[in-house]
Structure 1
């Protein structure tokens, strides 16, 4: 991939004694990249073996290593995780906050960059003008051989993701940074050719008269545009526009590179093309299976297409989309791409599945933003005389297409303890994971009472923390959380030796009144909504497209309109107040309350013994279990530490919410992991951390 190679095969050029050929350097790059992929695959295989062993282990500590090999592996894993999870504190610049990625991914990207730079400049004197042409050749060959890796990291049907057990969403971050490394390599390639030609004032002539130089420069310009538009601030301006232009510019870039590259290295262009074709064919084939009714014979499926969805408008400009008896299975925490051409033609969007497979339905809660999500809400509003009405005329059903599921997280059933933290509508990702473990407990309890057979979950403790802005948001998942607590209490009654623990805490940071009123839920009025009124009991659950939800107004005597959230404690401009008090100890916590005359201290709501967990819950099936609510913000480190102190094996921490919460949890996990290594002989094992990020 050079600016001017002529007819001589550059790959066989000699650049000095002891210097590998250009083809050998390309193979060396892939030896490094392949080794990294192989190591990730080996880790994935070992993790799967460990998960199986834990579910077959009949001891009291199934999540604890039972052999020297797996003990050493657990120690190495804990050390690597501690380094990998570390992150720098966010940097505030005026009104903007810059969040940094964790150290592990950064080190991988830097390792790739270092490998590329070493291969580009190995045994070449860049200060010698007679070596500038050699640098141009070398960097061109190293640049073009990076193309397959970029496309391996980009596909939804991802080969690397399958081998390493990683979601394409996580790999997409690496895809962007490897592409930026490619841009740096091609820029160096171009600069050294220009530098060589500049000695004879030859740059302009080459750009105007040499076809090879024109094509190479065109490829660099297109790649520069792709890299610039891939940065988050630009990408998020309009994601739909970004996707379209990304596909178009990709085609232009590949064509320009193919026309610029000599025949001997065109294989590095054909491989990415093959990967793109494979991804598309695999996706279309799977989508055909998932969406054609011929593959899913059912009395309810009489037409050509397998899926019909109902659209229900909910308060807060949210649309609930329900697909009964879907033709594909899924795991908690996964998402699919939805397409409904009759409402939003030629668009597909990713949405988290808010239900579990045992529900026999896929349920999505979609906040109306711009574009397609807004059209969903408008259609749902027109199809129902009253918002939130579940009685849907069959004529209002629409054919919908599903692509997926996608997403990957290790099953929480394999861990001794699990801490799940959610901020705002991050609960939509976390609650299905919570339900999955409790379901396993319930099934296992029934088995033990009857035949005492297989173990379905090694998990002994679950800790769920949900941080919400308004008390009204609690109603979205209140029934599910109460049902979980009731299920665990039912398991305790069914099986006398049931030793599982679950603890739920709800932190409320902003509300009309930070005290315990009997609230009435009223949505904010917009031009797209009709009048709606509902009580908090049995109110609809809401799940956004991985983002915060619009604030509701909670009213006791009158309706107030919430304004923007303020930092610290105090009243909101339109009514209501915020409390950012950091709660260190839930058993003896003092939150804050205000009625728009200033914040005052108030004791948080608690059960008789302080924490409303299932261990000391005395409610019956006839009496709904009251959830433990507090006013203020949690201290993740304290919450996680209390669970880890009781852990008898590997633990899991899952967080989904704003970047600030995720960063705080990361730092807490790293700190606690380091402390646990100091306490010898406690039997404490490592911590698995999964961070589900908001945004694109």
Structure 2
């Protein structure tokens, strides 16, 4: 039987009838992707320039014409893109639907793939079936570099261009590009089989043609990665298994796809492999540089179990002369404890500032790694901290730090008002935002934290953080910055009588800054109050469940008044940044 005829399929630009050759479609695909990234880069540059202007002028109110136009169009865009229709949020624990903005980007991407596939390509005869198969094959190969760029951690060019450093956002689009890859690969296989015309011919081709067998193997590995082993339950409840399988399967995929495709199509595959190898290499070089010392591991973490045995506090000393780690507020690192859980690392938000000369974390003990850490610390550290009523045990472990990563794409001290809405241990993110604004306040005039906890005892782990906020507020006496922390306790029965602990006394003394409120907050009304009092753009930081993030964005979309941006006041312009950890 004749083998695939790849001749001229990757050469030249257009056929005599004006239709693009299959190989040229890959270049057309990257022309569109490159154009989109160029637009994103221009918007990013403008955002950086706007932030510098606001900090220098100490005013978040848009004054020049370009800034007013920017406020107008961004407000209009956010009204649409922030929304997640309520009927799609009925089963948040079972299925997750993205916001309208994300869905529009995904639909646009799939529209690009389908548009390129059918562009000047009437599929009505066997010759057109063959051409369609080649088109889909080239589009599949062309997507590989983008797929890898959305997965890398250290060399994330897309994060640099767009400013979006959220791993959740990048992973979301990584998964959808992978589904686009599977779509075009399926079209490639479908039209190849249709070209064979009969089942008998297909079976014969599978027996005699190794390229056909390799093609089926490539599609099978791809389906295994994208469909069978990357579904949400597996990613969430068996992440270590998912990750190990993902790495092994991807290596197998690159091997079989190299065997299946012609040599002149390998440029896209080699680019993807090169990006991945460079990212892994740079990541491990930095891990070794940051953590290795002459005596072994450089850092040791002091881990404490809170009295309720529901939370862990972790403190890693840092000095100016030791280590190369530099982080900005609200970033996270991945911590690995070799003596507790070898070969496992988990992301945690840094709640301290670099000026503290230490990394601090508050971790909710649930299952797996955190539960193992709690049990081991409780067993070997019992009776070590009897002088402190809040702590049950303390132990010290060697730790490996990978990072930092993430953080918002815009600095918080450029806004007129900053609101942070967090749940539980998401307060680690919220407190770092508040402390950073208090330390280096420029244009901000109103600073508010809405913290939702289930039980009163959840506050104990953050006693030191509350004290730091009060000290930072009191130290900045020359500023007219208004600071307010509202702690909502869902189970009001857990709130004790005043004066039973040091925390109770502290909260009573600083009631002007910290308000303890039984019940759950009315988020929309709180946001309405912040937007109504802002004379410039408002920044909202969210760290919590997906439902909380969707609710906040929906409330902002409803409350945003595009007319305010049209008048040039900039009031009620609002930007939302969501910080989550999601597999």
Q: Using structure 1 for the length normalisation, give the TM-score.
A: 0.76
1:210 aligns with 2:209: yes
Provide the residue aligned with 1:537 in structure 2: 503
Tell me the secondary structure at the aligned position of residue 378 of structure 1: helix
What is the CA distance between 1:536 and its match in structure 2? 6.5
Q: Tell me the distance in 2 between the aligned counterparts of 1:396 and 1:642.
A: 45
Could you say what the CA RMSD is over the residues aligned between the two structures, in angstroms? 2.8
Q: Structure 1 CA distance, aligned partners of 2:486 and 2:272? A: 49
Give the counterpart of 2:165 among 167, 172, 187: 167
The reply on whether 1:46 has 2:53 as its aligned counterpart is: no
| Alpha-carbon contact 1:116-1:142 (below 8 Å) kept | yes
Query: For residue 654 of structure 1, what is the aligned residue in structure 2?
Result: 541
- SS of the residue 2:170 aligns to: helix
Specify the alignment match of 1:499 in structure 2.
Answer: 480
Equivalent in the alignment of 1:674: 561
What is the distance in 1 between the residues matched to 2:378 and 2:424?
Answer: 24
Kept after mapping to 2: 8 A contact 1:463/1:504: yes
**TM-score calculated relative to the size of structure 2:** 0.90
Q: How does 1:58-69 map to 2 (within 5 A)?
A: 58=58, 62-69=59-66
Q: How far apart, in 2, do the equivalents of 1:412 and 1:345 lie?
A: 37
Give structure 1 stretches of 5+ with no counterpart: 295-302, 441-455, 521-534, 540-611, 613-618
In structure 2, what is the Cα distance between the partners aligned to 1:53 and 1:682? 16
The answer on 1:402 being equivalent to 2:401 is yes
Distance 1:346 1:479, change over 3 A: closer
Residues of 1 paired with 2:89 and 2:283: CA distance? 41
Q: How far 1:502 moved relative to its partner? A: 1.5
Greater Rg over alpha carbons, structure: 1
Pair 1:97–1:373, CA change in 2 (3 A): closer
Q: Please list the CA deviations of residues 226-261 of structure 1 after superposition, one character each: whole Å capped at 9, or x if unmatched.
A: 112222122112000110000000001111100000
* 1:542 aligned partner: none
Instruction: Give the alignment of 1:199-348 within 5 angstroms.
Output: 199=198, 201-228=200-227, 229-293=229-293, 303-314=295-306, 315-325=308-318, 327=323, 328-348=325-345
Structure 2 gaps, min length 5 = none
Query: Cα deviations across residues 383-410 of structure 1 (Å, max 9, x unaligned)?
Result: 3123766999xx9643221111000202
Q: Does 1:374 align with 2:374?
A: no
Once the two structures are superposed, the pairs formed by residues 403-422 of structure 1 within 5 Å of their partners are: 403-409=402-408, 410-422=410-422
Deviations 1:120-179 (A, max 9, x none): 111222343441111111111111111110001110011211222221502111111001
Q: Alpha-carbon deviation of 1:488?
A: 2.4
Decide whether aligned partners of structure 1 residues 362 and 486 sit closer, same or farther in structure 2, where only a CA change above 3 A counts. closer
- Matched with 2:531 is 644
Q: Would you say the 8 A contact 1:651–1:687 is kept in 2?
A: yes
Aligned partners of 2:133 and 2:188 also within 8 Å: yes
Shift, 1:305, TM fit: 3.1
In structure 2, the partner of 1:477 is 462
Change (3 A) 1:363 1:185: same
Question: Quick one: higher RCO (CA 8 Å, sep 6+), 1 or 2?
Answer: 2
Contact 1:83 1:103 in 2 (8 A): yes
- Structure 1 residue 329: Cα displacement: 1.5
Distance in 2, Cα, partners of 1:163 & 1:654: 21
The aligned length equals 567
Q: CA deviation at 1:95?
A: 9.3
Native 8 Å contact 1:420 1:430 kept in 2: yes
The 1-side partners of 2:153 and 2:347 are apart by: 12
Q: CA deviation at 1:515?
A: 6.2
Relative distance call for 1:683 and 1:94 in structure 2 (3 A) is closer
Distance 1:203 1:15 in 2: 28
Paired with 1:91 and 1:182, the residues of 2 have a C-alpha distance of 26
Residues 508-550 of structure 1: CA distance to partner in whole angstroms, max 9, x if unpaired?
Answer: 2124x26653597xxxxxxxxxxxxxx56399xxxxxxxxxxx
Q: Are 2:551 and 1:664 equivalent residues in the alignment? A: yes
Are 2:514 and 1:517 aligned? Answer: no
Contact 1:486/1:625 (8 A) holds in 2 = no
Q: Secondary structure at the match of 1:506?
A: strand
Moved more, 405-414 or 360-369: 360-369
Q: Which residue of 2 aligns with 1:627?
A: 514
Cross-structure match for 1:546: none
Displacement of 1:33 after TM fit?
A: 0.6
Q: What is the alpha-carbon distance in structure 2 between the residues aligned to residue 362 and residue 93 of structure 1?
A: 38
Measured after TM superposition, the shift of residue 50 of structure 1 is 1.5
Paired residue secondary structure (1:202): helix
Q: 2:192 corresponds to which residue? A: 193
CA distance in 1, matches of 2:5, 2:489: 69
2:452 maps to 1:467: yes
The answer to which structure has the higher helix fraction is 2
Residues 312, 362 of structure 2: 8 Å contact kept: yes
